[in-house]
Amino acid sequence: MLPAIYFQIGNAAESDPISEDYFFEELPVVLSATRLSQSLADTPTAMTIIDKEMIRASGSRNIPDLLRLVPGFAVGFYSGSRATATYHGMADQYARDMQVLIDGRSVYDPAFGGVAWADMPIEVDEIARIEVIRGPNAAAYGSNSFSGVVNIITDHPADRPGAMLKTIIGEGNARKIYGRYADSIGDFAYRISANYDEYDGFEEREDSADTRWFNFHGEQTLDNDDTLEFRVGFSRGNYGEGWSDIFQQTRVLNNRYNFQQIAWTHQQSPSNEFRLQFYHNYQQIEDSYRSPILSDAIKGLDDLQGFPEPIRPDIFALGLSGGNYNFQMFLDELKLTDSPLTLSWLGFESDRYDLEFQQTLQTSDNLRLVWGAGARQDRGKSVWIFHQHDAITRDQLRLFANAEWHISPAWVVNAGGMVERFEDKDPFFSPRLAINHHMDQNNTIRASASRAYRMPTLLEDHINLVVFLDEPLNDVNTWVLATGNLDPQSIDSFELGYLGSFPEAGLTLDLKLFHEKIDNVINEFRNFDIPDPDRGLTDPIALATLNNFNDLVQEGADTYINSGEATINGLEVNLDFRPTPRDLIFLGYGYANTYGQEAFLILDGTVQSRSDISNNAASHTFSILGSHRFDSGIQISSAYYYVGEMIWGGEGDLIPTFRRWDVRLGKEFTLPGMDGEIALIGQNFNGGHVDFFNAPSRDLVNQWETRFFLQASLGFR
Amino acid sequence: MFTDGKLTALRTGNTLPVLGRFCRVLLLLFLAQHFIAGYAYSREVEKKQNVLIIKSGNATVYDKVISAIERYFILYYESHPDICTKVDTTSSIPTNLKPEWSKHSDLIITLGSKAAKFTRNHGVTNKTVHAMIPMLPDKKSNIRDRHFQETDTIYLNQPLERSLRLAKLSTGGGKRIGILVHKNNRPAESILRKSENKLGITITLAEVVNSKELGSKLGKLLESSDVLLALPDANIHNRKTISNILTSTYRKQVPVVGFSAAYVKAGAISAVHSTPDDIARHIVDVSASHLSTKTNLIKGPKYPKYFSVSVNRKVARSLGIKLPSETHLRDQISAGKTP
């Protein structure tokens, strides 16, 4: 009997698509507590999230343009393709007080600070979302997460498999072609992408640029508990730079950038996860330039135009030497040759090596803990900037812990901090404490306090930028010199926030009242006490002549000092309204009352004058983005950006109120085996506004004109 | 539980011939111990029923259902002494059954497809309840012949509307429900459109032919979905794919509504499903109607009468979706209330 039963059962067992076991089988925990991110309502600081919908609707061709949407942000294009982006102002070409991460990798340049946005091998279409933490967050992200943190998260390769081509052509000789392919082989998902673009930039500037890059992202799922991520990328770009200035001649920078990143995530249990990550960034800018030879440069001086050209060098030498030297004697006595002066503002190489271990623990239902340790080496190399052929390095060690404690369903506490120790610096601690109260399921209020630091960059700590004669290390004039071991500048930030989340209406509203106090501001100023190189001269006439010559090139030198403080009080509004899946309205408004001062001039060892910094940030910023998608697949969207009058630091200028209006018209279509979109993008409809440089006297004004771009993309399924 | 119309009617009906029948009993050990004290006292008036439960395998879920069945039978005869004072249950997998297994059973309950097919293949004439039968979304059960269509068959699957209601409740305000379906197991358009009108939702189906294109189809579907509803189909949702489905949807901040407690534990925001207890309760409901009458009553396949809702609070919190308690959600679904 028994064999018969076996036989019958065996026969009866058809190939069932599902059996009852299917409904009851245990599954591995995929979204364990350690892998979950915080919801907006539980985050300790105000955040702006820019998602794919907003990216597309904005028509932005680059990341800095996207950041215009964020309340409190100002973006300055110092050339047509290169930009700086700052939160709460007080920035120059290199916004050194903001941390930027792409897929968990800090892209902050250790030598100059800031981010070389144009060199990043990333396309806006690959971005899943950008989370902008508006406020310091050094407790989680370390020093330089000072004014804010921009966290760029790209698509997982498995999420958008297939091939895609995108091209842009437009005014200003805009040309772009981008291609990507993503697929999975077993448990290995990958994406390769490549891009070429070129753009002529501002009409009145010689700032044409072309960039090409390649990027690879792979993720190997070993099992439910282990994942390996690999990312590599490189870019090469040529950027027109400079203007009609003997020391900032128009020229082309040759930039190279590459990075490698590997991360291993291991889930020990659903409540215990480890992550180990290593990355390396490399940036190189090839830039040096030479003046005409001395005699020719002298012939071009304005003051000598009244003399016949052949005798101008002698007149010049006689003038500087009190009638003692003609031009040839001037050269001989000062140990000079009739060669060009040569220097570089920007030519350098930098590396960042970073290793981090992190453990996430869900110790109980209400308490989640993240702690970790990291080590980093930053390296900068430039004979032009550091006056030595060897690289300058700086090591950092860090230890951090952050806890998220749900005291009750209505109360959440976020507490944490990071201790960092930099080589040759005192260790410092960046704490943060925040409490969120969910008044009901729609309304949350939060209060938070945090302290963060910004480390001096390698440049600020070690610069020795000298004007050379003909070749490096043949010193003529000290241009910028680091004169002491700088302290980090600090910020204490207090925030009161409200988050209203009304999912039924598709509305999220965030209000933020803040008070920020910045101390020990690292600022650049002219120090007339800094002597220039003496070229080994001993003869008093020769030395006096050399001094006169150097004063003509530049008297004293620029340097950096911790001197200054700033207070910023303000209010920000961030509103995201999507009443239907086809409609989007995003609005950002920031008001900031900035006051404080920094050293402007030092003479005889004392600060002679200070400058007011209240204009270094805009009082008002406003952005609005609206989009509607019709049944026909047509999408119309428009964005308007407003930044009040502000001064850009460094070589930047006072820029009057900035207004920009963009419109985008897109049409999606489907063909057999492919989907695509054609879009017409019009930027700066209200053309004519000035950006970053506004110096007619230097013949240097960045003025945007209305420009149209046609964009086509095709995805192959 | 047993106060629905058919049983109330039966209490006043002619049930005695069945109840008076003497049956040989195979006692489970613990049941024997449980009843031994009262045995002598009640032997004259004892109205005993023999129930044979055939399970499809040795998985613990069957034993959980069986022990719940036993509990519900006790509750049943304690509250219906006029109908029966004792139910003796025996459970076994088919291979362990003695040759005369079907002869002395007043009722046979099968758990799972294999056990159901076993009784069919043996041409059993006893009253039978088939339970825990999986069904595909297009209503194709994997036991298709008339025998089962004319027997009390209780599916494991939830009715589509029940799942859709939970999906709508789990979006945090959204109305767009995305469903991945295998090309062979597509729910009928008419049912979908009817549900859309009734519940005020839009349903988007993404048809998957092979697992290779699952990623791209899911990616596209999520662009226009506020929630992904997972319907039971091993072609789509299986041990290998669930991890990717959950992580992809989470990366896009879209919640997944699953179909099992395990799916919720793995990372789905919620699921409507029948627990072993829910299943047992329904089985005993149906069994009671058989035990209390000679004639066959309600025949044909049916969805689970009782169900539970599971919620993953941590996932909901992370997605910023506020969900009421599980019982509240279940009651809302039962009452047909969706916002």
The full set of domains in chain A, from first to last, is 33-288+344-454+500-521+563-606+613-716 (2.40.170.20)
Cross-strand bridge partners of residue B94: none
* Cβ separation B118–A503 shorter than 8 A: no
Q: Which residues of chain A have pLDDT under 70?
A: 1-18
Structure tokens at A308: 């016949």
CB atoms within 10 A of CB A567: 15
Residue A220: enclosing H or E segment and its boundaries?
strand A209-223
Same domain, B284 and B245: no
Indicate the range of A35-49, A280-294, B46-60, B223-237 predicted with least confidence. Answer: B46-60
pLDDT of residue B151: 81
Is B339 a member of any domain?
no
Q: Give chain B positions within 8 Å (CB) of A189.
A: 215
pLDDT of residue B121: 85
CATH number of the structural domain spanning residue B182: 3.40.50.2300
Is B85 a member of any domain?
yes
Is B65 a member of any domain?
yes
* Cβ separation B114–A161 shorter than 8 A: no
Same domain, B316 and B204: yes
Same domain, B145 and B79: yes
Residue appearing with tokens 């052929």: A389
Same domain, B319 and B231: yes
Say which residue, B113 or B83, is predicted with more confidence. B113
Same domain, B246 and B288: no
pLDDT, tens digit, for every residue of B162-172? Answer: 999 999 999 88
Tell me the pLDDT band of B9, cut-offs 50, 70 and 90.
Answer: very low
3-state secondary structure at position A688? coil
Which ipTM was obtained for this model? 0.83
Q: Check pLDDT > 80 for residue B3.
A: no
* Cβ separation B315–A36 shorter than 8 A: yes
* Cβ separation B114–A13 shorter than 8 A: yes
Q: Tell whether B192 is within 8 A of chain A (Cβ).
A: no
User: Domain span at residue B65?
Assistant: 5-157+275-302
Q: Tell whether B144 is within 8 A of chain A (Cβ).
A: no
Beta-carbon contacts of residue A659 (< 8 Å; ≥ 6 apart): A640, A641, A642, A686, A689
Same domain, B221 and B326: yes
Model pTM score: 0.88
Same domain, B227 and B312: yes
Q: Tell whether A21 is within 8 A of chain B (Cβ).
A: yes
pLDDT of residue B138: 52
pLDDT of residue B24: 34
Q: Tell whether A302 is within 8 A of chain B (Cβ).
A: no
How far is residue A682's CA from residue B273's CA, in Å, rounded to a whole number? 52
A1, A22, A33: residue with CB nearest B234: A22
Q: How far is B34 from chain A (nearest CA, A)?
A: 30
Count of domains for chain B: 2
Same domain, B282 and B268: no
User: What Cα–Cα distance (Å) separates residue A41 from each residue in A51, A141, A204, A572?
Assistant: 18, 20, 47, 17
Is B104 a member of any domain?
yes
Interface list for A 415-444 with B (CB within 8 A): 441
Same domain, B88 and B178: no
pLDDT of residue A4: 32
Q: Tell whether A119 is within 8 A of chain B (Cβ).
A: no
pLDDT of residue A421: 97
Residue A555 is given by DSSP the state S
Same domain, B176 and B298: no
Same domain, B69 and B201: no
pLDDT of residue B17: 37
pLDDT of residue B122: 84
3-state secondary structure at position A295? helix
pLDDT of residue B145: 58
Q: Tell whether B183 is within 8 A of chain A (Cβ).
A: no
Is B57 a member of any domain?
yes
How far is residue A421's CA from residue A431's CA, in Å, rounded to a whole number? 15
Is B41 a member of any domain?
yes
pLDDT, tens digit, for every residue of B257-314? Answer: 999 999 999 999 999 999 999 999 999 998 888 877 666 565 778 899 999 999 999 9
Say which residue, B16 or A336, is predicted with more confidence. A336
B118, B239, B247: residue with CB nearest A27: B239
How far is residue B50's CA from residue B53's CA, in Å, rounded to a whole number? 10
Same domain, B153 and B166: no
Residue B267 is given by DSSP the state T
